[in-house]
Amino acid sequence: MKRKNPNSLNPVIELIIYVILILFTIITLFPITYSIMGSFKDTQELMVSTSLIPKKFTFDNYIYAWNKINYARYTLNSVIVSISCVILSLLNSSMTAYVLSRREFKGKKIIKTMYLLSMFISVGPAAIYPTYGILVGTGLNKSLLGLVVIGAGGGVSNIFLTMGYLNGVSKDYDDAARIDGCSFFKIYVQIMLPLMLPIIGVVGLLVFRGIWNSYLLPMIVTMGQPELQTLPVATVNLKSAGDTATMWSVMLAAANISLIPMIIVYILCNKQFVNGITAGGIKG
Protein backbone atom coordinates (compact mmCIF):
# COMPACT_ATOMS: atom_id res chain seq x y z
CA MET A 1 0.00 0.00 0.00
CA LYS A 2 1.30 3.42 -0.93
CA ARG A 3 1.28 5.70 2.07
CA LYS A 4 0.13 9.25 1.47
CA ASN A 5 2.86 11.81 1.90
CA PRO A 6 1.74 13.77 4.98
CA ASN A 7 2.99 17.02 3.48
CA SER A 8 1.29 16.84 0.11
CA LEU A 9 -1.41 19.44 -0.34
CA ASN A 10 -5.01 19.26 -1.28
CA PRO A 11 -5.37 21.11 -4.65
CA VAL A 12 -7.97 23.58 -3.34
CA ILE A 13 -5.78 24.53 -0.39
CA GLU A 14 -2.82 24.76 -2.72
CA LEU A 15 -4.73 27.20 -4.92
CA ILE A 16 -5.71 29.35 -1.94
CA ILE A 17 -2.08 29.44 -0.80
CA TYR A 18 -0.92 30.58 -4.23
CA VAL A 19 -3.60 33.28 -4.38
CA ILE A 20 -2.54 34.71 -1.02
CA LEU A 21 1.17 34.54 -1.81
CA ILE A 22 0.72 36.13 -5.23
CA LEU A 23 -1.56 38.86 -3.87
CA PHE A 24 1.06 39.94 -1.36
CA THR A 25 3.79 39.66 -3.96
CA ILE A 26 1.87 42.14 -6.14
CA ILE A 27 1.33 44.54 -3.24
CA THR A 28 5.00 44.26 -2.22
CA LEU A 29 6.40 44.78 -5.69
CA PHE A 30 3.93 47.46 -6.74
CA PRO A 31 5.79 50.57 -5.45
CA ILE A 32 9.10 49.36 -6.88
CA THR A 33 7.52 48.48 -10.23
CA TYR A 34 5.74 51.82 -10.25
CA SER A 35 9.04 53.61 -9.68
CA ILE A 36 10.91 51.69 -12.35
CA MET A 37 8.18 51.71 -15.01
CA GLY A 38 7.25 55.33 -14.32
CA SER A 39 10.76 56.48 -15.08
CA PHE A 40 10.38 55.29 -18.68
CA LYS A 41 7.17 57.27 -19.23
CA ASP A 42 6.89 60.97 -19.82
CA THR A 43 5.44 62.94 -16.92
CA GLN A 44 2.19 63.55 -18.78
CA GLU A 45 1.54 59.84 -19.10
CA LEU A 46 2.68 59.09 -15.54
CA MET A 47 0.08 61.47 -14.17
CA VAL A 48 -2.95 60.19 -16.06
CA SER A 49 -2.38 56.50 -16.79
CA THR A 50 -3.12 53.67 -14.40
CA SER A 51 -1.23 51.20 -16.57
CA LEU A 52 2.18 50.33 -15.18
CA ILE A 53 3.67 49.60 -18.57
CA PRO A 54 4.68 52.69 -20.57
CA LYS A 55 3.03 53.24 -23.96
CA LYS A 56 6.36 54.35 -25.33
CA PHE A 57 9.67 53.69 -23.57
CA THR A 58 11.86 56.75 -23.23
CA PHE A 59 15.32 57.04 -21.70
CA ASP A 60 15.21 60.83 -21.74
CA ASN A 61 14.48 61.01 -18.02
CA TYR A 62 17.68 59.16 -17.20
CA ILE A 63 19.73 61.28 -19.59
CA TYR A 64 18.28 64.40 -18.01
CA ALA A 65 18.94 63.19 -14.46
CA TRP A 66 22.46 62.06 -15.27
CA ASN A 67 23.53 65.22 -17.13
CA LYS A 68 21.33 68.10 -16.08
CA ILE A 69 20.80 67.55 -12.35
CA ASN A 70 24.22 66.23 -11.55
CA TYR A 71 23.42 62.56 -10.94
CA ALA A 72 26.71 61.49 -12.46
CA ARG A 73 28.41 63.23 -9.55
CA TYR A 74 26.04 61.88 -6.87
CA THR A 75 26.48 58.36 -8.19
CA LEU A 76 30.26 58.72 -8.01
CA ASN A 77 29.96 60.00 -4.43
CA SER A 78 27.76 57.08 -3.42
CA VAL A 79 30.09 54.57 -5.05
CA ILE A 80 33.20 56.05 -3.41
CA VAL A 81 31.64 56.19 0.05
CA SER A 82 30.03 52.74 -0.13
CA ILE A 83 33.07 50.89 -1.47
CA SER A 84 35.45 52.57 0.99
CA CYS A 85 33.16 51.89 3.93
CA VAL A 86 32.68 48.25 2.95
CA ILE A 87 36.44 47.62 2.64
CA LEU A 88 37.38 49.46 5.84
CA SER A 89 34.60 48.07 7.97
CA LEU A 90 35.31 44.54 6.77
CA LEU A 91 38.94 44.95 7.80
CA ASN A 92 37.91 46.36 11.14
CA SER A 93 35.26 43.79 11.95
CA SER A 94 37.31 40.80 10.82
CA MET A 95 40.40 41.95 12.71
CA THR A 96 38.46 42.62 15.88
CA ALA A 97 36.56 39.35 15.57
CA TYR A 98 39.82 37.45 15.01
CA VAL A 99 41.49 38.92 18.09
CA LEU A 100 38.41 38.44 20.29
CA SER A 101 38.01 34.87 19.06
CA ARG A 102 41.66 33.77 19.36
CA ARG A 103 43.33 35.73 22.14
CA GLU A 104 42.98 36.12 25.88
CA PHE A 105 44.18 39.54 27.04
CA LYS A 106 43.69 42.19 29.66
CA GLY A 107 40.52 44.20 29.03
CA LYS A 108 38.90 41.61 26.78
CA LYS A 109 35.85 41.33 29.01
CA ILE A 110 35.44 45.11 29.17
CA ILE A 111 35.65 45.52 25.40
CA LYS A 112 33.21 42.69 24.74
CA THR A 113 30.76 44.04 27.31
CA MET A 114 30.98 47.55 25.87
CA TYR A 115 30.34 46.29 22.36
CA LEU A 116 27.47 44.14 23.52
CA LEU A 117 25.85 46.88 25.59
CA SER A 118 26.04 49.34 22.73
CA MET A 119 23.64 47.13 20.81
CA PHE A 120 20.95 47.91 23.37
CA ILE A 121 21.71 51.55 24.10
CA SER A 122 20.85 54.06 21.45
CA VAL A 123 20.08 57.75 21.56
CA GLY A 124 18.54 57.68 18.09
CA PRO A 125 18.74 60.80 15.95
CA ALA A 126 20.28 62.70 18.88
CA ALA A 127 23.58 60.95 18.14
CA ILE A 128 23.91 62.77 14.84
CA TYR A 129 24.68 66.20 16.24
CA PRO A 130 27.71 65.17 18.36
CA THR A 131 28.88 62.95 15.49
CA TYR A 132 28.67 65.92 13.17
CA GLY A 133 30.53 67.92 15.81
CA ILE A 134 33.48 65.52 15.59
CA LEU A 135 33.61 65.89 11.81
CA VAL A 136 33.50 69.69 11.99
CA GLY A 137 36.15 69.69 14.72
CA THR A 138 38.51 67.59 12.60
CA GLY A 139 37.62 69.27 9.31
CA LEU A 140 36.47 65.94 7.89
CA ASN A 141 33.06 67.32 6.97
CA LYS A 142 34.64 69.21 4.06
CA SER A 143 35.09 66.08 1.96
CA LEU A 144 33.66 62.63 1.46
CA LEU A 145 36.24 61.44 3.97
CA GLY A 146 33.85 62.37 6.78
CA LEU A 147 31.20 59.94 5.57
CA VAL A 148 33.84 57.28 5.00
CA VAL A 149 35.23 57.62 8.53
CA ILE A 150 31.80 57.32 10.15
CA GLY A 151 31.07 54.17 8.15
CA ALA A 152 34.53 52.65 8.58
CA GLY A 153 33.85 51.06 11.96
CA GLY A 154 33.12 47.37 12.08
CA GLY A 155 29.59 47.70 13.37
CA VAL A 156 29.07 45.75 16.56
CA SER A 157 26.55 43.26 15.15
CA ASN A 158 28.92 42.50 12.26
CA ILE A 159 31.76 41.86 14.70
CA PHE A 160 29.65 39.36 16.61
CA LEU A 161 28.46 37.75 13.39
CA THR A 162 32.07 37.30 12.23
CA MET A 163 33.16 36.13 15.66
CA GLY A 164 30.44 33.50 15.75
CA TYR A 165 31.72 32.20 12.43
CA LEU A 166 35.37 32.23 13.51
CA ASN A 167 34.60 30.39 16.72
CA GLY A 168 33.43 27.55 14.49
CA VAL A 169 36.75 27.47 12.61
CA SER A 170 39.06 24.87 14.12
CA LYS A 171 42.07 26.18 16.07
CA ASP A 172 44.17 23.49 14.39
CA TYR A 173 44.71 25.91 11.53
CA ASP A 174 46.27 28.45 13.91
CA ASP A 175 48.43 25.83 15.60
CA ALA A 176 49.72 24.42 12.33
CA ALA A 177 50.58 27.87 11.03
CA ARG A 178 52.30 28.83 14.27
CA ILE A 179 54.49 25.72 14.11
CA ASP A 180 55.43 26.84 10.60
CA GLY A 181 56.59 30.11 12.12
CA CYS A 182 53.68 32.41 11.24
CA SER A 183 53.10 35.38 13.50
CA PHE A 184 49.70 36.18 14.99
CA PHE A 185 49.10 38.89 12.40
CA LYS A 186 50.34 36.77 9.52
CA ILE A 187 47.92 34.00 10.50
CA TYR A 188 45.12 36.55 10.22
CA VAL A 189 46.18 37.73 6.77
CA GLN A 190 47.20 34.44 5.21
CA ILE A 191 45.05 31.81 6.92
CA MET A 192 42.03 33.38 8.55
CA LEU A 193 41.00 35.98 5.97
CA PRO A 194 40.64 33.34 3.22
CA LEU A 195 38.78 31.06 5.62
CA MET A 196 36.47 33.92 6.60
CA LEU A 197 35.50 34.75 3.02
CA PRO A 198 31.93 33.39 3.25
CA ILE A 199 31.06 35.48 6.31
CA ILE A 200 32.97 38.47 4.93
CA GLY A 201 30.77 38.32 1.85
CA VAL A 202 27.65 38.32 3.98
CA VAL A 203 28.81 41.15 6.23
CA GLY A 204 30.04 43.15 3.26
CA LEU A 205 26.58 43.00 1.68
CA LEU A 206 24.87 44.10 4.89
CA VAL A 207 27.30 47.01 5.23
CA PHE A 208 26.85 47.94 1.59
CA ARG A 209 23.09 47.95 1.96
CA GLY A 210 23.31 50.15 5.04
CA ILE A 211 25.71 52.70 3.58
CA TRP A 212 24.26 52.84 0.08
CA ASN A 213 20.77 53.45 1.46
CA SER A 214 21.76 55.70 4.34
CA TYR A 215 20.02 59.05 4.31
CA LEU A 216 19.93 61.01 7.55
CA LEU A 217 23.61 61.15 8.43
CA PRO A 218 24.85 62.01 4.91
CA MET A 219 22.09 64.58 4.66
CA ILE A 220 23.32 66.39 7.77
CA VAL A 221 27.02 66.00 6.97
CA THR A 222 26.64 67.32 3.41
CA MET A 223 24.35 70.20 4.37
CA GLY A 224 25.32 73.23 2.31
CA GLN A 225 27.77 71.16 0.24
CA PRO A 226 25.70 69.83 -2.67
CA GLU A 227 28.79 68.52 -4.48
CA LEU A 228 29.27 65.93 -1.68
CA GLN A 229 25.72 64.59 -1.65
CA THR A 230 25.04 60.90 -2.02
CA LEU A 231 22.17 59.49 -4.09
CA PRO A 232 19.49 59.20 -1.37
CA VAL A 233 20.21 62.74 -0.15
CA ALA A 234 20.06 64.22 -3.64
CA THR A 235 16.89 62.30 -4.41
CA VAL A 236 14.99 63.55 -1.37
CA ASN A 237 16.14 67.09 -2.13
CA LEU A 238 14.50 66.88 -5.55
CA LYS A 239 11.10 66.96 -3.85
CA SER A 240 11.65 70.54 -2.82
CA ALA A 241 13.89 71.68 -5.69
CA GLY A 242 11.93 74.20 -7.73
CA ASP A 243 12.95 73.26 -11.26
CA THR A 244 12.39 69.51 -11.01
CA ALA A 245 9.49 69.32 -8.53
CA THR A 246 6.93 68.99 -11.31
CA MET A 247 8.95 66.53 -13.41
CA TRP A 248 7.76 63.32 -11.82
CA SER A 249 9.32 61.01 -14.39
CA VAL A 250 12.72 62.63 -14.07
CA MET A 251 12.51 62.36 -10.29
CA LEU A 252 11.65 58.67 -10.53
CA ALA A 253 14.54 58.11 -12.95
CA ALA A 254 16.80 59.87 -10.46
CA ALA A 255 15.50 57.69 -7.62
CA ASN A 256 16.05 54.58 -9.72
CA ILE A 257 19.70 55.43 -10.27
CA SER A 258 20.06 54.67 -6.58
CA LEU A 259 17.43 51.91 -6.44
CA ILE A 260 18.37 49.71 -9.39
CA PRO A 261 22.04 48.97 -8.50
CA MET A 262 20.90 47.80 -5.06
CA ILE A 263 18.23 45.55 -6.57
CA ILE A 264 20.79 44.05 -8.96
CA VAL A 265 23.19 43.39 -6.09
CA TYR A 266 20.33 41.80 -4.17
CA ILE A 267 19.31 39.53 -7.01
CA LEU A 268 22.91 38.43 -7.63
CA CYS A 269 23.67 37.83 -3.95
CA ASN A 270 20.28 36.72 -2.70
CA LYS A 271 21.71 33.73 -0.84
CA GLN A 272 24.23 35.78 1.13
CA PHE A 273 21.53 38.24 2.14
CA VAL A 274 19.31 35.45 3.40
CA ASN A 275 22.21 33.91 5.35
CA GLY A 276 23.22 37.24 6.83
CA ILE A 277 19.75 38.16 7.99
CA THR A 278 18.92 34.78 9.47
CA ALA A 279 22.30 34.33 11.19
CA GLY A 280 22.37 37.91 12.50
CA GLY A 281 18.74 38.03 13.53
CA ILE A 282 18.76 34.89 15.60
CA LYS A 283 22.12 35.37 17.25
CA GLY A 284 21.89 39.12 17.67
**What residues from 188 to 207 belong to the interface with other proteins (CB under 8 A)?**
188
Query: Per-residue x/- mask for other proteins, residues 135 to 174, rule CB under 8 A?
Result: --------------xx-xxx-x--x---------------
Residues from 53 through 82 that contact other proteins (CB under 8 A): none
* Residue 270 engages other proteins in binding (rule: CB under 8 A): yes
Contacts by 231-238 with C-beta closer than 8 Å and gap 24+?
231/71, 231/74, 231/75, 231/77, 231/78, 231/257, 231/258, 232/258, 233/74, 234/69, 234/70, 234/71, 234/74, 238/69
For the bound state, the minimum distance from the C-beta of residue 173 to other proteins, rounded and expressed in Å, comes to: 18
162 in Cβ contact with 156 (< 8 Å):
no
Nearer residue to other proteins within complex by CB, 32 or 76: 32
Task: Please pick, from the candidates 20, 72, 136, 176, the single residue that binds other proteins as defined by CB under 8 A.
Answer: 20
Give the span between the Cα atoms of 106 and 90, in whole angstroms.
24
Task: Please pick, from the candidates 72, 76, 116, 134, the single residue that binds other proteins as defined by CB under 8 A.
Answer: 134
Residues from 219 through 248 that contact other proteins (CB under 8 A): 220, 231-233, 235-236, 238-239, 248
Nearer residue to other proteins within complex by CB, 77 or 93: 93
